[in-house]
Amino acid sequence: MASLEISLLSGKTQKIELSKKQPISIGSHTSNDLQIEGVASMQCRISWNKKGYEILAATSDGIDVNGTMSGRTLLNDGDLIRIGEADILFVDEVDLLDLSSPLPDTSNDKNESSMYDLQPISENEFEAELRSPSKPQEKSSTLRSKSSKESSRKQESKSAKNKVSKSRKEKKAPKVEPPPVEELPADDDLDLESAAELLEDVSSKETPQAPESTFLSRTSDHGSDELEGANETTDTEDKSTLSLKDRIRKRASKNAVRPGERQITRSPLVLSLTGGGILLALTALTFWFIIGRDTAKRHFDAAVQEMEAGKYSQAIQLFENFQENFSKSDYVDEARIFLSKSLVEKEISGSTPAWKSGLEATDKFIKKHRDDSDFKSQHSTIADYGQRIALGSVETASRTKDRELLVVSKNAEKILTRYSPQDVPPTETLAKIKAGYEKAEAEILRKEVFDVAVLEIEESIKQKDTLKALKRRRHLLDRYPYYNNDRKMSTVLDQILEVEKGLIKINNEPVAASNEEYPETFPQVVTLALHTRSRSNAVSDGRNVFALANGSCFGIDSITGDPIWRRPIGLDAPFAPLTVTGTEPALLLYDSRHQDLVCVSQKNGKLIWRQALPSRPTGQPLIHQGLIVISCESGDLLSLDLISGNRISQLKFAQPLIGAPGLVYGEQAVAVAGHEAVIYLVSLRPFECKRVTAIGHRPGTIRIPIIPMGKLLMVCENDRADSALLHILDGNGENASLNELEQFRIKGHVQSPPVLRGKQLFLPTVPERITAFTVTDEEGKRKLTEIASYQLQDPLSCQIYLSAGSGGQLWMSSSALRKFTLLNSGIKLDKKKIADGLGAQPMQLIGNNLYLARRLLSSNSVIFTIANRDEMSSSWKSILGTDILATYSYGENGLVCVTSDGDIFRLRGKDFGPDGTSFRERTITQLKLPEGLTEPLKTTQLSDGKIAVYCGSPEPTLWILNSFGQLEQTIPLKAPLDTMPILIGDGIALPFHKKISVYRKGRGLNTVQDFVLPDDVDAKVNWKQLIPISKNQCIALTSSGQIFTLQYRTTPARHLAVVSMTDNKQPIDFNAGISKNFIAISDASGQLQLLDAKTGQQTGKLQIASPSANDLWITNNLLFVESKQKLSCFDISNGLKKRWDLKLSDSSLAGQPAMYEDQILLTLRNGTLITVEAKTGKIQTEFNTPLPTSGATVNLDQIMLVPTVDGSLYRIDQVLQQKGQASL
């Protein structure tokens, strides 16, 4: 049997048996039968071609066979094949001398035996033959030649006979015992060929000849056949007596006939020609088959080679041609598979795969081959295609932003899942696909959002709406910071800035200022301003310091602390008083009531000039070289003359401005921030915009002015909840680029301006943190370098104001005044602190003294204090903008005022005369408030005329004052009160949480049994109001709507007994209206009840459209109910009868309406005073106080007074008379 013996350079050997049915492929690919590294994917193929084993090269270089390169060679035994590092020896041996083994039994062969078939002989016969005398060399040679020719002839005709034999099958011939074989001569001089010929001859004799008789017959008649049969019988009988030579001669002459008896069909020539023709035809057919099979194989291999080389287009064409030209080839099914694979690979391989087409090709692959018997073997290939397409399409989608590829990925994922092994699902691959899908979807969404945003921005640019374009750009960058450095974003930003600059309007028309004072409506006013000082011998030097307090600006003597003058300017000033020097020392203020920038004298507060502004300023004005540069919220930047106040020029920007302008290095230009994203560079002379640049800040994030630092500018943006971003810009001259040079993030929010001293910058941030920096404008160096920072323990979120001194000293006013020192090791805090309270305005410095304003958490008043910054001590304080809690009349012409600071002032009518002083600095009583008080004081007037003042945590206390404001009793409380107390029986009813206790003077709280709310009352319920209706009875209201009538009883023990209880099941949010005869209560449902003040019984009930939004008041049997900016008046003398409604615009009642002659005087919180007819509600007069009011109108011996938020009491009766006369 043929085989291949392989020897490798590594010493390894291998043997492969060859089969005629299965070819052997040799190459480097894993699909080959023999794998050799370093050669082509398929180097060659060895197969049986009906003649022998041949080797066919699969490459153009050929194969080395016995040292000769050949493309196709028939292999012989011992041929040496060299392929790469392997030597392959072809072995094809047949051992004909192994006589001990029997020859193949052909008796059962389905093919019909020929006359030349070998007959088996026994071993004895073969030995007898060998013992016969040796034959001459010539005869042996002749015999070998004949045997060789006969063997060749039989081999050529074998295939043709096999085809005929199938149709000529007959019954199996009976087995004939082989005759004895003659002994051969002892000297065996026969060669192998002669021995083989002899064996064939002997075998042929033993083979039954009956089936061959017709073929060997010379004639067609039966007699002749019988004779031949008889002769054969005779010959058989004589075999034992004939020698081997005689038998051969007899065999050769057996069919001889006489010349006259020959038939043409039996003619040797005819038979030879016929046989030769048949033989040639069979040979031609054989060669045609071999050549055709070889051609198909070469075409198939060429297509496979192209496919394996990645040349899928060429492979597809070759496979299609192969199917067309070799449709009956053995390789056609394999070619169909390879063609489908190439169609898929063509789409999904290469640098630019077409995933969608690849998915379609995969679907076609499945549809085309799913009915194949071996389709299951293709599942792994299809799953691989699904995996590659699913992963590749999401990766490409992520890169190209094509959403259609996501659908391709989903469908490919289904193919992967369907054709993957069920027992080993591709979990890891599916997870990768999912992650890639989500990433690609996010990338595509980002691109879609970007495209839409760009279109909207470009549309806004076309409409010249730059603010809208910047807003849309900001939203895009907030969502996708990826586009911060995008070229398209840079392009549209340049377009926005160009349009923005083009939209700036310049107005150089001068506008003259006015030097006329506002009309004085209320000439007589008294301001409560407590002043205390430790030294009384201090002498004023004429210099004043200034403070803002609740809508008024105060001038304070810098030495004594006495209030000198007061000027109302309105609430919520955009900047603190700014000292300037013109023709005289002056002060710049903003009057929010008239929207004017005013310049007043520092000495007395008198007006020098005032200039109307288009809107509220965004920060402190910039004063430089006789010019005032001020920015407004409306987007206007104004240039004013400092001396005259005339407006020189005006720039109108396309968006509002924020912060204050900052002076650029060289002092010839200023920089100001826009509402969003942009910074403007404006030259002072001429007053025009030189440049617009963008730093990208968000609206409302800049709270302080732009800070100049040499050639640098610093913009502080509070862009995050817990930190701020410092933008360092180029500010070198009026042609500065304003390019951002550096960013620095700092903890906390910047709400107050920093202090720059030399190269040291101290930056305050909320909550109560200081950070020190070194600043340099040298090129190549960091602009800001942090030195140290310090934050207080338990810091508060409040305004921080700094003042720097020499030697690294720093003073901070925040929750108190503290001193710091900057050392090499950090920032050191001095242990001593003064002036507790929240800083209210920047500190002022004169000499070594600091002047600071602060507020307590329990009061809205401003405490203005002097502080020696070295000694950290104070010598005086003034309380400005006093918060008046309540006013109570006493006697015939007296008034007691209680303030939120615990100061009790007493006034008389003469204080409001022409000779009265403007300030009341002395108090009659000062209550000692506990430290750390965070809640405002509360006050009420008891039924006996005394005044009760209460403070809550941390030390709840009740003070009882007489009607003159003098302190009579201090009652420490064990817990806070829900509402103010009342007198009942011989004590004071104290409404603690969920209970009412009675305090008896000199006996405390333990002598009267408490009234406690039932256990089923919610814990959140508290007492809303206590109303006395007699000496021993009161009505108690809860916040949940329960109304209790309680009676103070002394038997059997002192206690509070419940007389009646009504539950309205609706919350009560505001205090009831009280008069001598009636009590009016309104709940959250809008139900209005009227009770008898003596019995507590209900006398009326009414459902109003809207629930009350303020306390109820009763004046002269008229009930006033306020709801939704509407005031309703009810006549309660006989039930609840509505008289009129009055619309209140943007305000509400400040207190109980008062009677003025036959009219009703209404005081609104915004400072508006209205007189209306009592019967119809028709407005008679209307005017405004300089500032909002803090309480109801007070009647002091025919003098009508109204308190305002700055602690002033304005006399209004004269104005009412003037207005009344004017209305007549």
Per-residue model confidence as pLDDT tens digits over 560-572: 999 999 999 999 9
pLDDT for the residue numbered 291: 62
Contact 83, 44 (CB under 8 A): yes
pLDDT for the residue numbered 1222: 55
Q: pLDDT band for position 228 (50/70/90)?
A: very low
| Residue 161 pLDDT > 50 | no
Q: Which residue has the higher pLDDT, 815 or 1015?
A: 815
List the single range of 121-130, 694-703, 1072-1081 with lowest mean pLDDT.
121-130
Interacting residues of 221 by C-beta distance below 8 A, sequence separation 6+: none
Walk me through the domains of the chain, giving residue ranges and CATH numbers: 3-91 (2.60.200.20), 351-503 (no CATH), 525-880 (2.130.10.10), 1147-1224 (2.40.10.480)
Q: Which residue has the higher pLDDT, 202 or 408?
A: 408
> DSSP letters of 4-47?
EEEEETTS-EEEEE--SSS-EEEESSTTSSEE-TTS-SS-EEEE
pLDDT for the residue numbered 893: 82
The number of helices, as runs of H, and strands, as runs of E, in the chain is 16, 78
pLDDT for the residue numbered 670: 94
| Residue 127 pLDDT > 70 | no
Contact 27, 43 (CB under 8 A): yes
28-32, 73-77, 934-938, 947-951: which is most confident: 947-951
Contact 214, 221 (CB under 8 A): no
Task: Return the closest-CA partner of residue 587 out of 555, 541, 561.
Answer: 555
Scan for tokens 């910058």, then name that residue: 761
Task: Return the closest-CA partner of residue 761 out of 792, 741, 744, 785.
Answer: 785
Q: Cα dist. 869→540, 792, 801, 820, 1048 in Å?
A: 20, 19, 14, 11, 59
Q: pLDDT band for position 1094 (50/70/90)?
A: confident
Sign of CA dihedral 383, 384, 387, 393: negative
| Residue 1145 pLDDT > 90 | no
DSSP 8-state secondary structure symbol assigned to residue 265? G
pLDDT for the residue numbered 105: 45
Q: pLDDT band for position 418 (50/70/90)?
A: very high
Q: pLDDT band for position 254 (50/70/90)?
A: low
Could you give the CA distance from residue 382 to residue 370 in angstroms, rounded to a whole number? 11
pLDDT for the residue numbered 198: 44
Q: pLDDT band for position 129 (50/70/90)?
A: very low
| Residue 940 pLDDT > 60 | yes
pLDDT for the residue numbered 142: 41
Rounded to the nearest 5°, which phi and psi values hold at 198?
Answer: -65, -45
Query: Percentage of residues in the chain with pLDDT exceeding 70?
Result: 85
pLDDT for the residue numbered 534: 78
Q: pLDDT band for position 283 (50/70/90)?
A: confident
Strands (E), 1029-1093: 1033-1038, 1042-1049, 1055-1063, 1073-1074, 1078-1082, 1087-1092
| Residue 96 pLDDT > 80 | no
What are the b/e assignments for 13-38, b being 16+ CB within 10 Å? eeebebeeeebbbbbeeeebebebee
| Residue 213 pLDDT > 80 | no
Q: pLDDT band for position 471 (50/70/90)?
A: very high
CA dihedral 589, 839, 770, 831 (to 10 degrees): 140
List the single range of 193-197, 676-680, 781-785 with lowest mean pLDDT.
193-197
pLDDT for the residue numbered 177: 44
Mean pLDDT of the chain: 85
Task: Return the closest-CA partner of residue 418 out of 383, 387, 389, 394.
Answer: 383
Could you give the CA distance from residue 28 to residue 836 in angstroms, rounded to a whole number? 91
pLDDT for the residue numbered 804: 94
pLDDT for the residue numbered 159: 40
Q: Which residue has the higher pLDDT, 821 or 1001?
A: 821
| Residue 166 pLDDT > 60 | no
Rounded to a whole number of angstroms, the CA Rg of the chain reads: 60
Task: Return the closest-CA partner of residue 210 out of 120, 113, 121.
Answer: 113
Task: Return the closest-CA partner of residue 419 out of 379, 389, 386.
Answer: 379
Q: Which residue has the higher pLDDT, 285 or 640?
A: 640
pLDDT for the residue numbered 1004: 84
Q: What average pLDDT score do residues 912-937 get? A: 89
The tokens for 394 are 């999401």
Q: Give the CA count within 13 Å in the CB-facing half-sphere of 572.
A: 7
pLDDT for the residue numbered 135: 42
Q: What average pLDDT score do residues 902-927 get? A: 89
Sign of CA dihedral 579, 582, 586, 588: negative
| Residue 248 pLDDT > 70 | no
Q: Cα dist. 250→204, 213, 254, 267, 761 in Å?
A: 14, 17, 6, 20, 136
Please count the other Cβ atoms lying within 10 Å of the Cβ belonging to residue 133.
11
